[in-house]
Protein backbone atom coordinates (compact mmCIF):
# COMPACT_ATOMS: atom_id res chain seq x y z
CA UNK A 1 0.00 0.00 0.00
CA UNK A 2 1.22 3.47 -0.84
CA UNK A 3 0.93 6.26 1.69
CA UNK A 4 1.04 10.01 1.92
CA UNK A 5 1.91 12.14 4.93
CA UNK A 6 -0.87 14.15 6.59
CA UNK A 7 -0.49 16.59 9.48
CA UNK A 8 -2.68 17.80 12.29
CA UNK A 9 -2.07 19.58 15.60
CA UNK A 10 -0.42 16.43 16.97
CA UNK A 11 2.06 16.04 14.12
CA UNK A 12 2.54 13.85 11.09
CA UNK A 13 0.92 10.49 10.30
CA UNK A 14 0.82 8.17 7.30
CA UNK A 15 -2.52 7.88 5.45
CA UNK A 16 -3.30 5.46 2.61
CA UNK A 17 -2.68 7.33 -0.61
CA UNK A 18 -5.94 6.27 -2.24
CA UNK A 19 -8.12 7.53 0.62
CA UNK A 20 -9.49 11.02 1.04
CA UNK A 21 -9.43 11.18 4.81
CA UNK A 22 -6.80 13.00 6.82
CA UNK A 23 -4.75 12.74 9.98
CA UNK A 24 -7.55 12.75 12.57
CA UNK A 25 -9.48 10.01 10.79
CA UNK A 26 -6.31 7.92 10.54
CA UNK A 27 -5.58 8.33 14.26
CA UNK A 28 -9.08 7.18 15.13
CA UNK A 29 -8.85 4.27 12.67
CA UNK A 30 -5.63 3.09 14.30
CA UNK A 31 -6.56 3.77 17.92
CA UNK A 32 -10.00 2.15 17.99
CA UNK A 33 -9.67 -1.30 16.48
CA UNK A 34 -12.71 -2.48 18.43
CA UNK A 35 -15.39 -4.78 17.07
CA UNK A 36 -16.84 -4.77 13.58
CA UNK A 37 -19.54 -2.14 14.15
CA UNK A 38 -18.99 0.91 11.95
CA UNK A 39 -20.71 4.28 11.91
CA UNK A 40 -24.01 3.60 10.10
CA UNK A 41 -24.09 4.33 6.39
CA UNK A 42 -27.22 6.46 6.84
CA UNK A 43 -25.31 8.80 9.14
CA UNK A 44 -22.74 9.47 6.43
CA UNK A 45 -25.46 10.73 4.12
CA UNK A 46 -27.10 12.79 6.85
CA UNK A 47 -23.78 14.40 7.78
CA UNK A 48 -23.18 15.24 4.12
CA UNK A 49 -26.58 16.93 4.03
CA UNK A 50 -25.84 18.91 7.19
CA UNK A 51 -22.38 19.97 5.93
CA UNK A 52 -23.96 21.05 2.66
CA UNK A 53 -26.60 23.04 4.51
CA UNK A 54 -23.96 24.67 6.70
CA UNK A 55 -21.92 25.76 3.69
CA UNK A 56 -24.99 27.27 2.03
CA UNK A 57 -25.98 29.15 5.20
CA UNK A 58 -22.43 30.33 5.87
CA UNK A 59 -22.28 31.70 2.33
CA UNK A 60 -25.64 33.39 2.78
CA UNK A 61 -24.28 35.04 5.93
CA UNK A 62 -21.21 36.25 3.96
CA UNK A 63 -18.72 34.29 6.05
CA UNK A 64 -17.82 31.70 3.37
CA UNK A 65 -16.79 32.71 -0.13
CA UNK A 66 -18.55 31.45 -3.23
CA UNK A 67 -15.74 29.28 -4.60
CA UNK A 68 -15.32 27.32 -1.37
CA UNK A 69 -19.06 27.07 -0.95
CA UNK A 70 -19.55 25.54 -4.39
CA UNK A 71 -16.69 23.12 -3.87
CA UNK A 72 -17.98 21.96 -0.48
CA UNK A 73 -21.52 21.56 -1.81
CA UNK A 74 -20.24 19.57 -4.81
CA UNK A 75 -18.19 17.28 -2.55
CA UNK A 76 -21.20 16.73 -0.29
CA UNK A 77 -23.31 15.85 -3.33
CA UNK A 78 -20.72 13.23 -4.30
CA UNK A 79 -20.96 11.74 -0.81
CA UNK A 80 -24.74 11.63 -1.12
CA UNK A 81 -24.44 9.96 -4.54
CA UNK A 82 -22.22 7.24 -3.08
CA UNK A 83 -19.20 8.30 -5.13
CA UNK A 84 -16.96 8.59 -2.08
CA UNK A 85 -17.94 5.32 -0.38
CA UNK A 86 -14.98 3.59 1.20
CA UNK A 87 -13.74 6.76 2.87
CA UNK A 88 -15.74 6.44 6.09
CA UNK A 89 -14.14 3.56 8.01
CA UNK A 90 -14.53 4.55 11.65
CA UNK A 91 -15.76 2.36 14.47
CA UNK A 92 -18.79 3.08 16.59
CA UNK A 93 -16.50 2.54 19.56
CA UNK A 94 -14.69 5.87 19.52
CA UNK A 95 -15.00 9.19 21.31
CA UNK A 96 -18.48 9.52 22.79
CA UNK A 97 -19.14 12.86 21.14
CA UNK A 98 -18.54 11.47 17.66
CA UNK A 99 -15.82 14.08 17.10
CA UNK A 100 -13.63 11.73 15.11
CA UNK A 101 -16.45 10.85 12.74
CA UNK A 102 -17.25 14.54 12.32
CA UNK A 103 -13.61 15.11 11.43
CA UNK A 104 -13.71 12.13 9.07
CA UNK A 105 -16.51 13.89 7.21
CA UNK A 106 -14.73 17.25 7.36
CA UNK A 107 -11.47 15.80 6.04
CA UNK A 108 -13.02 13.81 3.20
CA UNK A 109 -15.22 16.69 2.07
CA UNK A 110 -12.33 19.16 2.27
CA UNK A 111 -9.96 16.85 0.38
CA UNK A 112 -12.47 16.24 -2.39
CA UNK A 113 -13.42 19.92 -2.52
CA UNK A 114 -9.76 20.82 -3.00
CA UNK A 115 -9.47 18.29 -5.83
CA UNK A 116 -12.48 19.87 -7.53
CA UNK A 117 -11.04 23.35 -7.08
CA UNK A 118 -7.70 22.28 -8.55
CA UNK A 119 -9.43 20.60 -11.49
CA UNK A 120 -11.15 23.91 -12.20
CA UNK A 121 -7.96 25.94 -11.95
CA UNK A 122 -8.77 27.52 -8.59
CA UNK A 123 -6.05 28.34 -6.08
CA UNK A 124 -8.14 28.70 -2.91
CA UNK A 125 -7.92 25.92 -0.33
CA UNK A 126 -10.72 24.36 1.71
CA UNK A 127 -9.73 23.57 5.29
CA UNK A 128 -11.63 20.80 7.15
CA UNK A 129 -12.05 22.85 10.34
CA UNK A 130 -12.06 26.42 9.11
CA UNK A 131 -14.45 25.92 6.20
CA UNK A 132 -16.26 22.54 6.20
CA UNK A 133 -16.83 22.69 9.96
CA UNK A 134 -17.50 26.43 10.01
CA UNK A 135 -20.14 27.56 12.54
CA UNK A 136 -20.33 24.01 13.87
CA UNK A 137 -19.00 21.74 16.59
CA UNK A 138 -19.08 17.98 16.76
CA UNK A 139 -21.14 18.57 19.89
CA UNK A 140 -24.04 20.13 18.01
CA UNK A 141 -23.88 18.49 14.59
CA UNK A 142 -23.79 14.93 15.92
CA UNK A 143 -26.99 15.25 18.00
CA UNK A 144 -28.62 17.08 15.07
CA UNK A 145 -27.62 14.23 12.77
CA UNK A 146 -29.13 11.67 15.15
CA UNK A 147 -32.46 13.49 14.93
CA UNK A 148 -32.40 13.95 11.16
CA UNK A 149 -31.37 10.34 10.56
CA UNK A 150 -33.96 8.95 12.96
CA UNK A 151 -36.86 11.02 11.64
CA UNK A 152 -35.92 10.34 8.02
CA UNK A 153 -35.59 6.59 8.46
CA UNK A 154 -38.89 6.31 10.33
CA UNK A 155 -40.71 8.28 7.63
CA UNK A 156 -39.02 6.78 4.59
CA UNK A 157 -38.67 3.15 5.66
CA UNK A 158 -40.44 2.10 8.85
CA UNK A 159 -43.84 3.72 8.38
CA UNK A 160 -44.24 2.38 4.80
CA UNK A 161 -43.40 -1.14 6.03
CA UNK A 162 -46.00 -0.88 8.78
CA UNK A 163 -48.59 0.42 6.31
CA UNK A 164 -48.02 -2.49 3.94
CA UNK A 165 -48.45 -5.14 6.64
CA UNK A 166 -51.47 -3.32 8.01
CA UNK A 167 -53.08 -3.34 4.57
CA UNK A 168 -52.46 -7.07 4.18
CA UNK A 169 -54.00 -7.85 7.56
CA UNK A 170 -56.93 -5.50 6.97
CA UNK A 171 -57.76 -7.41 3.81
CA UNK A 172 -57.51 -10.71 5.70
CA UNK A 173 -59.70 -9.36 8.48
CA UNK A 174 -62.45 -8.41 6.05
CA UNK A 175 -62.13 -11.60 4.00
CA UNK A 176 -62.36 -13.93 7.01
CA UNK A 177 -64.79 -12.03 9.21
CA UNK A 178 -67.47 -14.67 8.60
CA UNK A 179 -65.41 -17.52 10.07
CA UNK A 180 -66.35 -18.14 13.70
CA UNK A 181 -63.65 -19.72 15.87
CA UNK A 182 -62.91 -20.38 19.49
CA UNK A 183 -61.13 -17.65 21.42
CA UNK A 184 -58.24 -18.33 23.76
CA UNK A 185 -57.09 -16.58 26.92
CA UNK A 186 -54.32 -17.85 29.22
CA UNK A 187 -53.65 -20.34 26.37
CA UNK A 188 -56.99 -21.96 27.31
CA UNK A 189 -60.36 -22.04 25.56
CA UNK A 190 -62.43 -18.88 25.80
CA UNK A 191 -65.60 -17.52 24.23
CA UNK A 192 -65.79 -17.40 20.43
CA UNK A 193 -64.97 -14.62 18.00
CA UNK A 194 -64.49 -14.43 14.27
CA UNK A 195 -61.14 -14.92 12.63
CA UNK A 196 -61.62 -11.47 11.14
CA UNK A 197 -62.09 -9.99 14.62
CA UNK A 198 -58.93 -11.68 15.81
CA UNK A 199 -56.93 -10.24 12.92
CA UNK A 200 -58.54 -6.83 13.43
CA UNK A 201 -56.74 -6.66 16.77
CA UNK A 202 -53.45 -7.03 14.93
CA UNK A 203 -54.50 -4.34 12.47
CA UNK A 204 -55.31 -1.90 15.26
CA UNK A 205 -51.94 -2.55 16.90
CA UNK A 206 -50.18 -1.49 13.73
CA UNK A 207 -52.52 1.44 13.22
CA UNK A 208 -51.92 2.64 16.78
CA UNK A 209 -48.18 2.30 16.37
CA UNK A 210 -48.37 4.39 13.20
CA UNK A 211 -50.19 7.08 15.14
CA UNK A 212 -47.73 7.02 18.03
CA UNK A 213 -44.68 7.08 15.76
CA UNK A 214 -46.08 9.91 13.65
CA UNK A 215 -46.59 11.99 16.78
CA UNK A 216 -43.44 10.80 18.54
CA UNK A 217 -40.95 11.77 15.84
CA UNK A 218 -42.07 15.38 16.26
CA UNK A 219 -39.97 15.43 19.42
CA UNK A 220 -36.90 14.75 17.27
CA UNK A 221 -37.50 17.60 14.85
CA UNK A 222 -35.61 20.07 17.08
CA UNK A 223 -31.96 20.42 16.03
CA UNK A 224 -28.95 21.30 18.18
CA UNK A 225 -27.00 23.07 15.43
CA UNK A 226 -26.15 26.61 16.43
CA UNK A 227 -25.25 25.53 19.94
CA UNK A 228 -21.66 24.59 18.97
CA UNK A 229 -19.43 23.46 21.86
CA UNK A 230 -21.52 23.78 25.04
CA UNK A 231 -24.77 25.38 23.90
CA UNK A 232 -23.78 29.05 23.93
CA UNK A 233 -23.22 29.11 20.16
CA UNK A 234 -19.63 30.31 20.39
CA UNK A 235 -18.08 30.87 16.89
CA UNK A 236 -21.49 30.55 15.30
CA UNK A 237 -23.19 33.69 13.89
CA UNK A 238 -26.45 34.97 15.30
CA UNK A 239 -29.40 33.31 13.58
CA UNK A 240 -27.37 30.35 12.30
CA UNK A 241 -29.55 27.81 14.13
CA UNK A 242 -32.76 29.06 12.57
CA UNK A 243 -31.27 29.38 9.11
CA UNK A 244 -29.69 25.94 9.03
CA UNK A 245 -32.84 24.26 10.34
CA UNK A 246 -34.72 25.88 7.47
CA UNK A 247 -32.08 24.76 4.95
CA UNK A 248 -32.09 21.19 6.30
CA UNK A 249 -35.87 21.21 5.99
CA UNK A 250 -35.51 22.26 2.36
CA UNK A 251 -32.84 19.66 1.54
CA UNK A 252 -34.53 16.72 3.28
CA UNK A 253 -38.11 17.74 2.49
CA UNK A 254 -38.91 17.04 6.13
CA UNK A 255 -39.74 19.64 8.73
CA UNK A 256 -37.07 20.52 11.30
CA UNK A 257 -36.69 23.40 13.75
CA UNK A 258 -33.88 24.90 15.75
CA UNK A 259 -33.95 23.64 19.33
CA UNK A 260 -35.25 26.37 21.67
CA UNK A 261 -32.65 25.49 24.31
CA UNK A 262 -29.29 24.34 22.96
CA UNK A 263 -27.99 23.39 26.42
CA UNK A 264 -30.73 20.77 26.58
CA UNK A 265 -30.15 19.73 22.96
CA UNK A 266 -26.47 18.95 23.54
CA UNK A 267 -26.63 17.08 26.82
CA UNK A 268 -30.04 15.36 26.84
CA UNK A 269 -31.17 12.52 24.63
CA UNK A 270 -34.63 12.22 26.15
CA UNK A 271 -36.31 12.70 22.77
CA UNK A 272 -34.46 9.72 21.31
CA UNK A 273 -35.40 7.62 24.34
CA UNK A 274 -39.05 8.58 23.85
CA UNK A 275 -39.08 7.73 20.15
CA UNK A 276 -37.25 4.46 20.66
CA UNK A 277 -39.75 3.66 23.40
CA UNK A 278 -42.48 3.89 20.76
CA UNK A 279 -40.35 1.73 18.47
CA UNK A 280 -40.11 -0.78 21.32
CA UNK A 281 -43.90 -0.70 21.67
CA UNK A 282 -44.16 -1.56 17.97
CA UNK A 283 -41.69 -4.39 18.52
CA UNK A 284 -43.76 -5.72 21.41
CA UNK A 285 -46.87 -5.81 19.23
CA UNK A 286 -44.96 -7.52 16.44
CA UNK A 287 -43.79 -10.18 18.91
CA UNK A 288 -47.43 -10.82 19.80
CA UNK A 289 -48.56 -10.97 16.15
CA UNK A 290 -45.71 -13.26 15.10
CA UNK A 291 -46.30 -15.54 18.08
CA UNK A 292 -50.05 -15.72 17.39
CA UNK A 293 -49.35 -16.69 13.80
CA UNK A 294 -46.93 -19.48 14.65
CA UNK A 295 -49.13 -20.85 17.43
CA UNK A 296 -52.21 -20.84 15.20
CA UNK A 297 -50.20 -22.59 12.47
CA UNK A 298 -48.59 -25.08 14.86
CA UNK A 299 -48.73 -28.76 14.06
CA UNK A 300 -50.05 -28.91 11.47
CA UNK A 301 -51.64 -32.16 12.67
CA UNK A 302 -50.67 -32.29 16.31
CA UNK A 303 -50.82 -28.62 17.23
CA UNK A 304 -53.51 -25.98 16.92
CA UNK A 305 -53.32 -25.93 13.15
CA UNK A 306 -56.12 -23.43 12.57
CA UNK A 307 -54.25 -21.61 9.82
CA UNK A 308 -51.87 -22.42 7.00
CA UNK A 309 -48.84 -20.27 6.33
CA UNK A 310 -46.53 -20.37 3.30
CA UNK A 311 -44.06 -23.24 3.16
CA UNK A 312 -40.88 -21.40 2.21
CA UNK A 313 -38.01 -23.73 3.16
CA UNK A 314 -37.36 -27.26 4.41
CA UNK A 315 -37.47 -27.14 8.20
CA UNK A 316 -35.11 -29.87 9.28
CA UNK A 317 -31.88 -31.53 8.26
CA UNK A 318 -33.09 -34.83 9.73
CA UNK A 319 -36.92 -34.81 9.69
CA UNK A 320 -38.32 -35.03 6.14
CA UNK A 321 -41.36 -32.91 5.25
CA UNK A 322 -40.96 -30.68 8.30
CA UNK A 323 -41.70 -27.00 7.64
CA UNK A 324 -41.25 -24.32 10.30
CA UNK A 325 -42.72 -20.83 10.92
CA UNK A 326 -39.42 -19.21 9.99
CA UNK A 327 -40.74 -15.72 9.30
CA UNK A 328 -42.24 -15.56 12.78
CA UNK A 329 -38.95 -16.78 14.22
CA UNK A 330 -36.95 -14.20 12.32
CA UNK A 331 -39.26 -11.35 13.32
CA UNK A 332 -39.27 -12.33 16.98
CA UNK A 333 -35.46 -12.42 16.98
CA UNK A 334 -35.51 -8.89 15.53
CA UNK A 335 -37.76 -7.90 18.41
CA UNK A 336 -35.31 -9.38 20.91
CA UNK A 337 -32.55 -7.24 19.40
CA UNK A 338 -34.73 -4.11 19.55
CA UNK A 339 -35.47 -4.75 23.23
CA UNK A 340 -31.73 -4.99 23.88
CA UNK A 341 -31.13 -1.83 21.87
CA UNK A 342 -33.67 -0.01 24.02
CA UNK A 343 -31.72 -0.86 27.14
CA UNK A 344 -28.51 0.42 25.55
CA UNK A 345 -30.18 3.62 24.38
CA UNK A 346 -31.71 4.23 27.81
CA UNK A 347 -28.36 3.89 29.53
CA UNK A 348 -26.53 5.90 26.87
CA UNK A 349 -29.05 8.72 27.21
CA UNK A 350 -28.50 8.86 30.95
CA UNK A 351 -24.84 9.79 30.46
CA UNK A 352 -25.27 13.51 29.75
CA UNK A 353 -22.54 14.69 32.06
CA UNK A 354 -22.59 18.48 32.44
CA UNK A 355 -22.86 20.04 28.97
CA UNK A 356 -22.54 17.00 26.69
CA UNK A 357 -23.73 13.44 26.24
CA UNK A 358 -20.73 11.24 25.43
CA UNK A 359 -22.49 8.03 24.34
CA UNK A 360 -23.81 9.35 21.04
CA UNK A 361 -22.20 6.93 18.54
CA UNK A 362 -23.61 3.83 20.28
CA UNK A 363 -26.93 5.59 20.74
CA UNK A 364 -27.39 6.37 17.06
CA UNK A 365 -26.05 2.95 16.04
CA UNK A 366 -28.73 1.21 18.07
CA UNK A 367 -31.49 3.62 17.06
CA UNK A 368 -30.87 3.18 13.35
CA UNK A 369 -30.36 -0.56 13.72
CA UNK A 370 -33.74 -0.90 15.43
CA UNK A 371 -35.51 1.07 12.70
CA UNK A 372 -33.79 -0.83 9.89
CA UNK A 373 -34.30 -4.25 11.45
CA UNK A 374 -37.97 -3.66 12.16
CA UNK A 375 -38.65 -2.21 8.72
CA UNK A 376 -36.88 -5.11 7.01
CA UNK A 377 -38.40 -7.67 9.36
CA UNK A 378 -41.92 -6.35 8.82
CA UNK A 379 -41.44 -6.34 5.06
CA UNK A 380 -40.12 -9.91 5.07
CA UNK A 381 -42.91 -11.14 7.36
CA UNK A 382 -45.53 -9.47 5.17
CA UNK A 383 -44.21 -10.69 1.82
CA UNK A 384 -43.24 -14.21 2.90
CA UNK A 385 -45.89 -15.04 5.49
CA UNK A 386 -48.80 -12.69 6.16
CA UNK A 387 -49.91 -12.44 2.55
CA UNK A 388 -50.21 -16.23 2.41
CA UNK A 389 -52.14 -16.82 5.65
CA UNK A 390 -55.19 -19.04 5.04
CA UNK A 391 -57.69 -20.44 7.55
CA UNK A 392 -58.23 -24.18 7.89
CA UNK A 393 -61.99 -23.98 8.30
CA UNK A 394 -62.50 -27.65 9.13
CA UNK A 395 -60.08 -27.46 12.06
CA UNK A 396 -61.50 -24.15 13.22
CA UNK A 397 -65.05 -25.54 13.19
CA UNK A 398 -63.99 -28.71 15.03
CA UNK A 399 -62.40 -26.77 17.89
CA UNK A 400 -65.32 -24.36 18.07
CA UNK A 401 -67.84 -27.12 18.71
CA UNK A 402 -65.55 -29.09 21.03
CA UNK A 403 -65.12 -26.24 23.47
CA UNK A 404 -67.02 -26.30 26.77
CA UNK A 405 -66.53 -22.55 27.17
CA UNK A 406 -69.43 -21.93 24.80
CA UNK A 407 -71.55 -22.54 27.90
CA UNK A 408 -70.89 -18.88 28.73
CA UNK A 409 -73.74 -18.09 26.35
CA UNK A 410 -76.21 -19.78 28.73
CA UNK A 411 -75.16 -17.76 31.78
CA UNK A 412 -77.79 -15.01 31.21
CA UNK A 413 -80.47 -17.74 31.15
CA UNK A 414 -79.48 -20.16 33.94
CA UNK A 415 -76.78 -18.32 35.92
CA UNK A 416 -73.07 -18.92 36.40
CA UNK A 417 -73.27 -21.87 38.79
CA UNK A 418 -75.82 -23.87 36.80
CA UNK A 419 -73.88 -23.21 33.57
CA UNK A 420 -70.73 -24.54 35.25
CA UNK A 421 -72.56 -27.70 36.32
CA UNK A 422 -73.81 -28.26 32.75
CA UNK A 423 -70.28 -27.92 31.33
CA UNK A 424 -68.72 -30.18 33.94
CA UNK A 425 -71.35 -32.87 33.41
CA UNK A 426 -70.76 -32.76 29.66
CA UNK A 427 -67.02 -33.18 30.21
CA UNK A 428 -67.43 -35.99 32.75
CA UNK A 429 -69.97 -38.01 30.80
CA UNK A 430 -68.58 -37.32 27.32
CA UNK A 431 -71.80 -35.80 26.06
CA UNK A 432 -72.46 -32.54 24.25
CA UNK A 433 -73.25 -29.28 26.00
CA UNK A 434 -76.73 -29.38 24.52
CA UNK A 435 -77.41 -32.86 25.83
CA UNK A 436 -76.20 -31.86 29.26
CA UNK A 437 -78.26 -28.67 29.27
CA UNK A 438 -81.46 -30.40 28.19
CA UNK A 439 -80.94 -33.07 30.83
CA UNK A 440 -81.36 -30.47 33.59
CA UNK A 441 -84.92 -29.85 32.51
CA UNK A 442 -84.31 -26.12 32.93
CA UNK A 443 -83.37 -25.38 29.33
CA UNK A 444 -85.47 -26.12 26.26
CA UNK A 445 -84.01 -26.98 22.87
CA UNK A 446 -85.28 -23.69 21.49
CA UNK A 447 -83.71 -21.70 24.32
CA UNK A 448 -80.42 -23.54 23.92
CA UNK A 449 -80.26 -22.85 20.19
CA UNK A 450 -81.05 -19.18 20.77
CA UNK A 451 -78.56 -18.52 23.54
CA UNK A 452 -75.80 -20.74 22.18
CA UNK A 453 -75.84 -19.55 18.57
CA UNK A 454 -72.15 -18.80 17.80
CA UNK A 455 -73.13 -16.07 15.35
CA UNK A 456 -74.88 -14.23 18.16
CA UNK A 457 -72.10 -14.88 20.65
CA UNK A 458 -69.49 -13.18 18.44
CA UNK A 459 -71.63 -10.14 17.62
CA UNK A 460 -69.98 -7.00 19.05
CA UNK A 461 -72.06 -5.42 21.79
Residues in the annotated binding site: 97-99, 127-130, 137-139, 185, 317, 322-324
Which residues partner with 183 through β-bridges? 190
SS (HEC) of the chain: CCEEEEEECCEEEEEECCCCCCHHHHHHHHHCCCCCCECCHHHHHHHHHHHHHHHHHHHHCCCCCHHHHHHHHHHHHHHHCCCCCCCCCCECCCCCCCHHHHHHHHHHHHHHHHHHHHHCCCCCCCCHHHHHCCCCCHHHHHHHHHHHHHHHHHHHHHHHHHHHHHHHHHHHHHHCCCCEEEEEECCEEEEEEEHHHHHHHHHHHHHHHHHHHHHHHHHHCEECCCCCCCCCCCCCCCCHHHHHHHHHHHHHCCCCEECCCHHHHHHCCHHHHHHHHHHHHHHHHHHHHHHHHHHHCCCCCCCCCCEECCCCCCCCCCCCCCCCCHHHHHHHHHHHHHHHHHHHHHHHHCCEECCEECCHHHHHHHHHHHHHHHHHHHHHHHHHCHHHCEECHHHHHHHHHHCHHHHHHHHHHHCHHHHHHHHHHHHHHCCCHHHHHHHCCCCCHHHHHHHCCHHHHCCCC
Residue 186 a catalytic site member: yes
C-alpha 215/C-alpha 255 separation (Å) is 13
Known binding-site residue numbers for substrate = 97-99, 127-130, 137-139, 185, 317, 322-324
Short-list 50, 76, 54, CA closest to 63: 54
Of the residues 316, 379, 401, 403, only one is catalytic, namely 316
Of the residues 28, 59, 152, 186, only one is catalytic, namely 186
C-alpha 249/C-alpha 148 separation (Å) is 10
Q: Are 259 and 222 in contact (CB under 8 A)?
A: yes
Residue 264 a catalytic site member: no
Short-list 116, 171, 215, 105, CA closest to 387: 171
Q: Which residues are tagged catalytic?
A: 186, 316
Amino acid sequence: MEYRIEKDSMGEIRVPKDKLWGAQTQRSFENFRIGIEKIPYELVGVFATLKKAAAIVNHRLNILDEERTHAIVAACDEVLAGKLDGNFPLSVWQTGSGTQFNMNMNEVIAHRANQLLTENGKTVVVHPNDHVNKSQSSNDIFPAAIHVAGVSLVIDKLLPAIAALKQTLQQKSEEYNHIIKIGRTHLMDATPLTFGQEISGWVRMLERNEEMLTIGINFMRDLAMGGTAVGTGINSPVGFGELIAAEITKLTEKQFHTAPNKFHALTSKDEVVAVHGIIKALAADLMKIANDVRWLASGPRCGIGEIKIPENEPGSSIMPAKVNPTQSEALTMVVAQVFGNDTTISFAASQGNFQLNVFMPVLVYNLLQSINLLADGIHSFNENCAIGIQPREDVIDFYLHQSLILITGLVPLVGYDKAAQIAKRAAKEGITLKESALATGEVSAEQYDLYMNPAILVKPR
